[in-house]
Chains A and B, each alone.
Chain A
Amino acid sequence: MTQAGGHTGRVRQRTHEGFLRHKGFRWAFVATGLSVAAVGIYFVVALQLSEPPSGGSWIGYTLGTMSAGLIVWLASLGIRKRAVSDGHYSLKAWVSAHVYLGLSLTVLATLHTGFQFGLNIHTLAYGLMMLVIASGGLGIWAYSVLPHRLSANRGEVTRRQMLDNIASLDAQLQETAQPLDRAGAAIVRHSIEDTEIGGGFWQRLTGSYGNCANKQALSSLRSLPNSGPDGEILAKIETLMTQKVDALALARRQMRITALLEAWLFVHIPATFALLAALIAHIVSVFAYW
């Protein structure tokens, strides 16, 4: 991709390669190879074993050790990402490996179970692992789709400008409403003081702002008789509030996309910690009751 580097006229050559395409899908090939090998060994060798498939056969132990090692390494991305470095072991390479090796865990760990599930700590660990991987899958989708939407929604406006715009409208409302009586002032105050730009977790994710204070204020304002001496002021305030509706919508769309971009982490990170605990419990309990 070639970008003109602004008004200086310099041209910067920049080739962007995302974590998914890193080094020509190197880690995708590694992960696929690993999975295919595991499936091959499982169905060719393990089914010849006399014992029923379980984590306790030699192939079960092998797959289990590999899976546990992978889980610990995958979880260490949380530590690795906080240390910025470049070169051969760049963070992008890590993320790429994290994604593909993480996906290959669905194969390795499932084969490790020998398809033996039950209401126990072992299946809990497996379920949590699948939850982590599934939420990670959402993350991959989010990171591959949403940044474009975020950028498209933003246009040339920065997030700071979005907030300043709303604050400026509030200031104008405050100023304009000064001559109003108590009832009119209360309506304007409702818009200024009670309007929540973001809202809670689910509100952001669903983007539902039906009880927005500004919207309520606008509706109340329109129900006021505007034939009096304040008519002109009320008309001006209505214009300001309508502008605020648009400004809020822009900011909230930005927040919703951001929320979608970040929501998977609210599952991925806690489930990872839960998985690490369950994994330790799984391993220790297996050897405690060997």
Chain B
Amino acid sequence: MAQEFHLRLITQRAAGGDPIIRERSIAGPELTIGRATDSDIVLSDLAVDPHHAKLRFAGPGRVTLESVGGAPFLLNDRSTQRVDFNVSGDPVAAFGDYRLAFAPGEDGGAVITVTREEHEHHPSPSIFSLKAPVFGRRNMAWGLGVGIFVICLLVPLIGTLWLSQAKIHPDQQWSSGPLSKAHAFLENDCKACHAKAFVAVRDETCLSCHKAGADAVAEATILARSSDGGSPFEPRLIAEHAPHNKLRIATPLPDAIGPKIGAVVQRALNHPTDRCASCHLEHTKPEKTGDPVTEPLLKDKPTLVVVQDCESCHSKLKMRLQKTELIDTPDWGRHPTFRPLIMTSPAGAKPTFQRLQLKGMPLERNGLIFPHKMHLDPLGGVARQAIVLGKSSGYGAALECASCHTRDASGTGFKPIEMEKDCASCHSLAYARDGAGRLKSLPHGELQKVVDTLNGRSVSASSVSDRLRPGTIRPTAFAANGAGAWRATFSEGGACFDCHTITWAGDTVQMAPVKLTHRYMPRGAFDHKVPEHGGPGKSKAGGFECVDCHKANLSELTSDVLIPDIAKCASCHGKTEAQTKAADDADCTTCHSFHAPGKATPPPGYPPLETLRWTQAVARRGAGA
């Protein structure tokens, strides 16, 4: 029997179930394969050529498969156009979707099983939905969420909690706004201020650069610390106007309900509202320049926010601070009358003071004998002396305040009175002439040196008047009968006797110490520079001269306290311009600064940041300011 091809054509049912198998045999030696209906094996796939290949026997159990039109086919998944093969090795040829599986047949023939691979894809209606394989909703959601969580929270948090000296600063993305210029050098170093995570910035952090020291050494240490830390500016060293625990107790909750609840909640959550950072805010919005081209301007200094004003604490103070001596000052109209510090004794290293009300006419004991009235009397001997001294000596007319009281560099106050400078023009300390004819003066202020200088000296009395011009030696200075010159100096008619309180213990001279008050009210500021306060420049109508406040021209006693009471201030402050042209504000800050109550509150932005550069700061200190 000749070799033949036994075909098994397997067709899957569309509805499923057992496939349909049709079998037939084709006598060798050759058969055709193609899409054309006249082919021996019809493969109705458009990928198959109408006459694609021929198959013929090439020996027992061996066949040759060859392309007709040059179109390739697969044998065992390898593309080819002609191939001889043995049918016993279960070879499989593929044309399009069709698989021709070979197997040995009877008498060296071949069995060819023809199947069609159904890989037709029937799309389901779900393809109408929008899908993005890579950037799908779920992928993007988790990717972005986890990414932001890690980059914006986890990495900076780990850096904050465990890595203190990192070179990169991932926590900078947490900064809610730029620092002011003053603190800009700390921009990359969040932990300079935010020392502990989840703990509000504490005062100790601020004070590590800004604490006013107890002495110059402590302050120099603090300043050096800022300089070493990279600050281009000298930090302002500040103190508090009362012990911090007292301030804390004395401060009431804010009045308005919102801020009140806010304060209670913040305090409960370890975010105290009495910290430096409660009032001095950083990371605020930069100022707009109004010019869209230029960058917004950084603020020079942290934004100051007045959380509580003076009145809010200084009202009903005794309800919160049981032991305070401070008198409540709810407003300017109820400001207590002045209680200046009056020197009750100048003796000892530290003179003693007492706060006394002015209306009680307190007496000051400063150790000096100095009647202001005598010196200011325009018709008196002092005036005559001044006229005689003439303009060339800085006088030439009756004395006025400025003849002795010289303004200090700021103009706000006055230099301390110095005997040699302010009195000696008239009150000569000369006691002899040297070889060149120059006058020799007694050393003022040092009792023992005076005694030593004059010891053993004896000067014969002169008959000329004792009232001599300065620069001459006053005869009575040494005129004590038969006594030593120094004894005469300290006795009635002697150079020291008129102004100093002198007592004798046997042969030993004793002089009451003299200490002159520089400021009667060190917790308040008064600016003598203001024209309306008698300062230079043109005053508004209603402004004052010295004598309007200081009744020195009527004062016969050294113990008179010559400062006015608050009523004098109130004649302008708190008044309207209709009442006086010199009317002015009645703010606490005019006379009291929060951090330095003895000074006026500096105007906003004062001192300008640039003046705090180290070079300028050093120059300023060099100039003694």
Q: Give A residues with C-beta under 8 Å from B.
A: 45, 49-52, 54-55, 57-59, 61-62, 114-116, 118-122, 124, 158-160, 163, 167, 174, 177-182, 185-186, 188-189, 192, 197-198, 201, 204-205, 251, 254-255, 258-259, 262-263, 265-266, 269-274, 276-278, 280-281, 284-290
Cβ of B464 within 8 Å of any chain A Cβ, yes or no, is: no
13 A-B residue pairs with CB within 8 Å: A45-B258, A51-B307, A52-B305, A61-B262, A121-B152, A177-B46, A181-B50, A186-B46, A251-B128, A266-B136, A266-B137, A274-B148, A277-B153
- The reply to whether A163 and B123 form a contact with Cβ atoms under 8 Å apart is yes
Query: Per a CB cutoff under 8 Å, which of A45, A52, A204 touches B285?
Result: A52
Most buried by A among B50, B176, B306: B176
CA distance A259 to B46 in the complex (A): 34
CA distance A185 to B50 in the complex (A): 9
CA distance A286 to B171 in the complex (A): 11
Q: Which residues of the other chain, B, contact A258 by a CB distance below 8 angstroms?
A: 128-130
A192 touching B262 in the complex, CB below 8 Å, given contacts A277-B152, A287-B198: no
- The reply to whether A289 and B197 form a contact with Cβ atoms under 8 Å apart is yes
B159-181 contacts to A (CB < 8 Å): 160, 171, 173-178
Range for the number of chain B residues in contact with chain A: 35 or more
- The reply to whether B153 and A281 form a contact with Cβ atoms under 8 Å apart is yes
Interchain nearest-CB distance for A240 vs B (Å): 13
CA distance A122 to B148 in the complex (A): 12
Cβ of B445 within 8 Å of any chain A Cβ, yes or no, is: no
Q: Which residues of the other chain, B, contact A50 by a CB distance below 8 angstroms?
A: 305-307
CA distance A182 to B48 in the complex (A): 8
Q: Which residues of the other chain, B, contact A178 by a CB distance below 8 angstroms?
A: 35, 37, 44, 46
A277 touching B144 in the complex, CB below 8 Å, given contacts A120-B173, A198-B128, A289-B194: yes
Cβ of B281 within 8 Å of any chain A Cβ, yes or no, is: yes
Interchain nearest-CB distance for B361 vs A (Å): 43
Binary flags per residue of B255-271, CB closer than 8 Å to A gives 1, else 0: 01011011101000001
Binary flags per residue of B174-214, CB closer than 8 Å to A gives 1, else 0: 11111000000000001000100111110000000000000
Query: Per a CB cutoff under 8 Å, which of A58, A116, A160, A266 touches B259?
Result: A58
CA distance A262 to B132 in the complex (A): 11
A265 touching B137 in the complex, CB below 8 Å, given contacts A167-B122, A277-B152: yes
Nearest A residue to B136 via CB reads A266
Q: Which residues of the other chain, A, contact B201 by a CB distance below 8 angstroms?
A: 290
CA distance A72 to B160 in the complex (A): 27
Nearest B residue to A55 via CB reads B176
Q: Give B residues with C-beta under 8 Å from A.
A: 35-37, 44, 46-47, 49-50, 69, 71, 122-125, 127-132, 135-138, 140-149, 152-153, 156-157, 160, 171, 173-178, 190, 194, 197-201, 256, 258-259, 261-263, 265, 271, 281, 284-285, 303, 305-307
Interchain nearest-CB distance for B81 vs A (Å): 14
Q: Which residues of the other chain, A, contact B140 by a CB distance below 8 angstroms?
A: 266, 269-270, 273
- The reply to whether A284 and B176 form a contact with Cβ atoms under 8 Å apart is no
Nearest B residue to A261 via CB reads B130
Nearest A residue to B307 via CB reads A50
Nearest B residue to A117 via CB reads B285
CA distance A263 to B173 in the complex (A): 31
CA distance A59 to B257 in the complex (A): 11
CA distance A118 to B295 in the complex (A): 13
Q: Which 7 A-B pairs have the closest CB atoms?
A: A58-B262, A273-B145, A270-B140, A281-B153, A273-B141, A274-B144, A285-B174
Query: Per a CB cutoff under 8 Å, which of B130, B141, B152 touches A272?
Result: B141
Query: Per a CB cutoff under 8 Å, which of B44, B132, B143, B281 touches A51?
Result: B281
Interchain nearest-CB distance for B215 vs A (Å): 34
CA distance A121 to B46 in the complex (A): 60
Q: Which residues of the other chain, B, contact A120 by a CB distance below 8 angstroms?
A: 173-176
Interchain nearest-CB distance for A207 vs B (Å): 12
Nearest B residue to A62 via CB reads B258
CA distance A251 to B35 in the complex (A): 32
CA distance A38 to B142 in the complex (A): 33
Q: Which residues of the other chain, B, contact A288 by a CB distance below 8 angstroms?
A: 157, 160, 174, 194, 197-198
- The reply to whether A290 and B198 form a contact with Cβ atoms under 8 Å apart is yes
- The reply to whether A52 and B284 form a contact with Cβ atoms under 8 Å apart is yes
CA distance A254 to B128 in the complex (A): 7
CA distance A50 to B256 in the complex (A): 12
- The reply to whether B137 and A280 form a contact with Cβ atoms under 8 Å apart is no
- The reply to whether A277 and B145 form a contact with Cβ atoms under 8 Å apart is yes
- The reply to whether A285 and B145 form a contact with Cβ atoms under 8 Å apart is no
- The reply to whether B173 and A259 form a contact with Cβ atoms under 8 Å apart is no
Q: Which residues of the other chain, B, contact A179 by a CB distance below 8 angstroms?
A: 36-37, 50
Query: Per a CB cutoff under 8 Å, which of B123, B173, B271 touches A197?
Result: B123
Interchain nearest-CB distance for B297 vs A (Å): 15
CA distance A55 to B281 in the complex (A): 13
Interchain nearest-CB distance for A222 vs B (Å): 19
Q: Which residues of the other chain, B, contact A51 by a CB distance below 8 angstroms?
A: 281, 303, 305, 307
Q: Which residues of the other chain, B, contact A265 by a CB distance below 8 angstroms?
A: 137
Nearest B residue to A255 via CB reads B128
Interchain nearest-CB distance for B263 vs A (Å): 8
CA distance A81 to B128 in the complex (A): 22
CA distance A180 to B261 in the complex (A): 88
